[in-house]
Amino acid sequence: MDGKTIRMGRISRNGLFLCVPMDHGISSGPIAGIDRLHRVLAEVSRGGATCAVLNKGMIKSMKEHPGMGILMHASASTSLGPDPNYKVRSSGVEEALRLGADGVSVHVNIGAREESEMLYELGYMSDEADEWGMPLLAMMYPRGEHVKNPNDPATIAHVARVGAELGADIVKCNYTGDRESFSALVRSVPVPVIIAGGPKMDTDMDVLRLVRDAMDSGAAGVAFGRNVFQHANPEAITRAIAEIIFDNADVEKAAQELEVGRS
């Protein structure tokens, strides 16, 4: 048992992840949901989330431990800047340790003009995380001027593999759209793969079907931001997602948690 193994246990449950990224305040400002960040943290923790992703300032602002793992996000750009796809390093592993975080995360946009700089930072952060025994989540996206089709399964698989090749302990990527291609992606990546939630979906059932499809394809869980923290009842949608991930529930069974949340 080493430090990284112990910390991986703090951000997962039996090797599975229900992660709620709430690092959007830098890129998008105080959008709905994270404008009441600490309240939502408590709600998703009660719902069964294993970890949240926060920027360092929000970790510093916590008055009490949220009861789940915390990953400190170490990448930043804003929607107001000249190139939102260029994520720069905003912190390091030692600061994450000082703040009591259980891991770190890095965002890389493959296909952006500054891809080489982001790849360098991912590789450097991987070495730093190994040195200190910290889990590293790589958020890997096909996003930028050189990406012709960001939804192409082969492109998503390439981007996910880059994260593993450069030493990430967990890779977050988009779902490819079908079980066959995503299963192939998971087989090609030798670390746990979790799926991104993307923009807010139209219905709760859409959210739950995506979770079920991903888990049936071999995913190790999800990292859902807006589809959780912008939900009318973050605790209930988290609990429904948890039913699928940890209890292998079908969509209809998981959806019952939403009815309980409305009562």
Q: For this structure, is 86 an active site residue? A: no
Burial 80-95 (b: 16+ CB within 10 A, else e): eeeeebbbebbbbbee
- In angstroms and rounded to an integer, the radius of gyration of the C-alpha atoms of the chain is 17
Cβ proximity of 161 and 128 under 8 Å: no
> Are 71 and 104 a contacting pair, CB within 8 Å?
yes
Q: What angle do CA 139, 169, 23 make, to 5 degrees?
A: 35
How many CB atoms neighbour CB 111 within 10 A? 18
Please pick, among 86, 169, 172, 213, the residue that the annotation labels catalytic: 172
48 is in an annotated binding site: no
Nearest to 164 by CA among 194, 144, 198, 143: 194
Question: Is residue 26 marked as binding?
Answer: yes
The response to whether 226 counts as a known ligand-binding position is yes
Asked whether the beta carbons of 66 and 42 are under 8 A apart, the reply is: yes
The single-letter code of the amino acid at 121 is E
Is 127 among the catalytic positions?
Answer: no
User: What is the rounded distance in angstroms from the CA atom of residue 19 to the CA atom of residue 11?
Assistant: 8
Point out the catalytic residue in the list 56, 87, 141, 204.
141
Known binding residue 199? Answer is no
Does residue 143 have a known ligand-binding role? yes
Comparing CA positions, the residue from 181, 135, 189 lying closest to residue 3 is: 135
Give the Cβ contact number of residue 146 at 10 Å: 11
261 annotated as ligand-binding:
no
Q: Can you tell me which residue has the tokens 């890095």?
A: 106
**Residue 27, annotated ligand binder?**
yes
> Is 46 flagged in the annotation as binding?
no
80 backbone dihedrals φ, ψ, rounded to 5°: -90, -15
Q: Does 36 appear as a known binding residue? A: no
- Ligand-binding annotation for 141, yes or no, is yes
Q: Which residues are annotated as a binding site?
A: 23-27, 141-143, 197-198, 225-226
- Residues carrying an active site annotation: 23, 141, 172
